[in-house]
Amino acid sequence: MLEIRNLSFAVHEDDRQKEIIHDLNLTIEDGKFTVITGPNGSGKSTLARLIMGIEKPISGSILLDGEDITALDITERAKKGISFAFQQPVRFKGIRVKDLLRLAAGKRISVSEACAYLSEVGLCARDYIDREINSSLSGGELKRIEIATLLARKTRLSVFDEPEAGIDLWSFQNLIRIFEKMRAEIRDSAIVIISHQERILQIADEILVLADGRISEKGTPAEILPRLIGQSAPVSACQKLQ
Amino acid sequence: MVQLDAIQKRLIEEIADLHSVPAGAYNFRANSKLAGRNTTANIDIVSKPDGSGIDIHVKPGTKNESVHIPVVLSESGIKETVYNDFYIGEGADVVIVAGCGIDNCGSQDSEHDGIHRFYVGKNAKIKYVEKHYGSGDGRGQRILNPVTEVYQEEGSSVEMEMEQIKGVDSTERTTLAELKADARLVVKERLMTHGSQNAVSTYRVNLNGAGATADVVSRSVARDESSQTFNARITGNAPCSGHTECDSIIMDKGRILAIPSLEANDVDAMLVHEAAIGKIAGDQLVKLMTLGLTEQEAEEQIINGFLR
C-alpha cells in the first residue's frame, strides 16, 4: 500500500515559488488498478515523479507499506519495489533491448525469458531482442519496450506516466490489451496509471481526479466517468481563469 | 612455439581476446623480439631483411583465414618503431587482428609505434581489428603512436575497428586511405581516455575513383582531466560518397576537440560530416536508477553501451 500524506511540491519560476502539488493526500491499495487523471498542468506527471523519487517534495511524506520512503533516492525506492514507466521513454546509444531487460530483471535472464516479456507486450522478440534502444525505434515500439522492462522487474508498485502519449492508434489497441491483462493478473501488487484515455479509465478499479495539484474527486469508473465525459476537462476553463 | 610469460599472456588476452595460440597465421612480438610465428599455405609472414618489421602476403582468392599479429611490451623503457606491410591478393577475404598491450611498472617510458601499410588487391576484402591496452602502475608513460596506411584497389572493401579503452597515456593515431573506384572503407573507432591521458586521432581519406565510399565513425569518452582531438577529413576527387561522424561523451574535467572536415573536388562527390559532444544525459541516468542501479552503475552501463 502506498500512502501520500500532506504532500506539496513547488518549482521556481522567475524568482517565485510556484506550487504544483498542494497538501495532497491519497492511498493506493494493493490489488488495485488505479488511474490518476486530470487536465494538462494539473500535476499528474509531477505526482508520478514524486512517487518514484525523481522529484523531491517541499513538505509531506510518502509511505510504502507503512515505511516512510520520503528521504530515499530513486535507486533505493526502486530496490524497495517501485517501478516507473516514462512518458517519453529514454533512448540509449549502444544499449540493446536485451541489455535493458537484464538490467530491469536485476540478473542475467536467459534470452528466452527476455523474449517472453517482449511477446507479452506484442513485440516479436526475434526482431527486437538485439536492437539498440536508439532513434531507430518508433514511439510505439519504445513504449512497449518500456512496459516490458516493468514486467521484467515484477515490483509491487508500478507507476505508468501517460503510457498512451505519443503512440499511434494501432499501438494503442495493443496497449489497452496489455493493461487489461495486467489488471486481470494483479495480485498483491498495485498499478498506478497516469492517463487521459477513456479506454484506460474504463478498466480502472479506482479513478482519482487531480485538479490544480489536489485530488478533486475519486471513485469507480461508473461514478466518475459520466461526469468527465462530455466535459473538455474536469475543471472548466472559466473556473480556471477565475 | 609461442613463449610468453604471465603478464604477456594477460596483455594478449586484452588486445586480441586470445586465450591460447590462434588457428591460422600469426606473428607474436614480445619486448621487441619474435615470440612465435606460424604461416599457412595461403598466408606467408616474412621478416624484413633490415629487421624493421614484417611483410605479410595473402595469396589471391584466400578465403576465411585470419592473421594475428599482437605486440606486447612488458619491460620498462622500450622504444620501438615497427613497419608491417600487408599485401592482400585479389579477391581474398581475411580477418587481421593486430593490437598492442603495454605493461609498464618501471619509471621509464615505453613506446610502440606501429606503422601498418595495407595494399588491398582488386575485390579483396579485409576486416582489421586493432586494440590498444596499457597497464602497470609505474611512473613511466605508456605511449602508442600507430600509423595506418590503406591503399585500396578497385572494388576492394576494408572494415577497420580500432579500440583503445584503457591505460594508454599518450597516443597519436594517424590513418591515411586512398580508394580507387568502387572501393569501400568503414572505420569504427572506440576511444576512452582517463587520468591525464592525451589522444589524437587523425584521418585523411581520399576517394579517388567513381563509386568509392567511406564511413568513418568515432565514439569516445573523455574522463578525469584527459583530452582528445578527433580530426577527420574526407576528400572526394570523383563521384563518390563519404560520411564521418564523431560522437563523444565528456565527463569530469575532460576536453574534446572535434574537427570533422570535407573537401569536394568533383561535382558528384556527396560528403557529410556530423559531430556531437555532450555529457551523459540526465534522463538516461534516471531511467537506469529507476531499475535499481546506483548512479555510478548507471554511468558504467551507459558508457559500456556507448563504446560497444
User: Which CATH number fits the domain that encloses residue A82?
Assistant: 3.40.50.300
Residues of chain A with pLDDT under 70: 230-242
- The answer, for B222 touching chain A at a CB cutoff of 8 Å, is no
Place of cell 590513418: B175
Length of chain A equals: 242
- Which contiguous run of DSSP H or E holds residue A146? helix A139-153
CA end-to-end distance (rounded Å), chain B: 34
Among candidates B289, B302, B304 on the partner chain, residue whose Cβ is nearest the Cβ of A75: B289
- The answer, for A158 touching chain B at a CB cutoff of 8 Å, is no
Among candidates B291, B295, B302 on the partner chain, residue whose Cβ is nearest the Cβ of A78: B291
Q: Hey, CA dihedral for B18, B24, B30, B32, is it positive or negative?
A: negative
- The answer, for A86 touching chain B at a CB cutoff of 8 Å, is yes
Interchain pair B290, A74: CB under 8 A: yes
**Grid cell locating B217:** 565513425
Q: What is the DSSP letter of B21?
A: P
**Could you list the residue range(s) of the whole structural domain that residue A195 is in?**
2-241
Please answer whether residues A51 and A190 qualify as being in contact, where contact means their C-beta atoms are separated by less than 8 angstroms: no
The distance of A46 to chain B (nearest Cα, Å) reads 15
Residues in chain B with CB shorter than 8 Å from the CB of A96 are 305
Give the model's pLDDT for residue A231.
59
Give the model's pLDDT for residue B138.
75
- The answer, for A23 touching chain B at a CB cutoff of 8 Å, is no
Residues of chain B with pLDDT under 50: none
> Phi/psi at A8 (nearest 5 deg)?
-130, 145
CA B256/CA B222 separation, integer angstroms: 7
Among candidates B294, B295, B302 on the partner chain, residue whose Cβ is nearest the Cβ of A92: B302
- The answer, for B288 touching chain A at a CB cutoff of 8 Å, is yes
Tell me the residues of chain A between 195 and 214 that have a Cβ less than 8 Å away from chain B. none
- The answer, for B276 touching chain A at a CB cutoff of 8 Å, is no
Interchain pair A79, B283: CB under 8 A: no
Interface contacts A/B by beta carbons within 8 Å = 58
Q: What is the DSSP letter of A60?
A: E
- The answer, for A227 touching chain B at a CB cutoff of 8 Å, is no
Interchain pair A94, B294: CB under 8 A: no
- The answer, for B302 touching chain A at a CB cutoff of 8 Å, is yes
Count of Cβ atoms closer than 10 Å to residue B195 Cβ:
11
Q: What is the ipTM of this complex?
A: 0.91
Place of cell 599455405: B41
> Closest residue of B to A155, CA-based?
B291
The distance of B163 to chain A (nearest Cα, Å) reads 15
- The answer, for B305 touching chain A at a CB cutoff of 8 Å, is yes
Interchain pair B302, A95: CB under 8 A: yes
Count of Cβ atoms closer than 10 Å to residue A72 Cβ:
17
Interchain pair A94, B308: CB under 8 A: yes
Among candidates A54, A92, A103 on the partner chain, residue whose Cβ is nearest the Cβ of B291: A103
Give the model's pLDDT for residue A230.
63
Site from A103, A146, A151, A159 to mutate, B interface, most B CB atoms within 10 angstroms: A103
Interchain pair A86, B289: CB under 8 A: no
Predicted TM-score (pTM) of this structure: 0.86
- The answer, for A149 touching chain B at a CB cutoff of 8 Å, is yes
Q: Hey, CA dihedral for A217, A219, A220, A226, is it positive or negative?
A: negative
Give the model's pLDDT for residue B1.
52
Give the model's pLDDT for residue A242.
46
Residues in chain B with CB shorter than 8 Å from the CB of A99 are 301, 305
Give the model's pLDDT for residue A58.
95
* Among the listed residues B87, B110, B90, B101, the one whose alpha carbon sits nearest the alpha carbon of residue B30: B101
Site from B217, B218, B291, B295 to mutate, A interface, most A CB atoms within 10 angstroms: B291
What is the Cα gyration radius of chain A? 18
Site from B188, B287, B296 to mutate, A interface, most A CB atoms within 10 angstroms: B287
- The interaxial angle of helices A111-120 and A139-153, nearest 10 deg, is 120
CA B149 to chain centre: 12
Give the model's pLDDT for residue B118.
97
Count of Cβ atoms closer than 10 Å to residue A30 Cβ:
14
- The answer, for B39 touching chain A at a CB cutoff of 8 Å, is no
Interchain pair A94, B304: CB under 8 A: yes
Q: Under the phi-then-psi rule, with left for phi > 0, alpha for psi from -120 to 50, and beta for the rest, what region is A215? A: beta
The number of domains in chain A is 1
CA separation (Å) from B90 to B27, B96, B117, B118, B186? 23, 16, 16, 13, 19
Q: Hey, CA dihedral for A93, A95, A101, A104, is it positive or negative?
A: negative
Please answer whether residues B72 and B30 qualify as being in contact, where contact means their C-beta atoms are separated by less than 8 angstroms: yes
Interchain pair A94, B284: CB under 8 A: no
- The answer, for B293 touching chain A at a CB cutoff of 8 Å, is yes
CA B52/CA B84 separation, integer angstroms: 8
> Closest residue of B to A73, CA-based?
B289
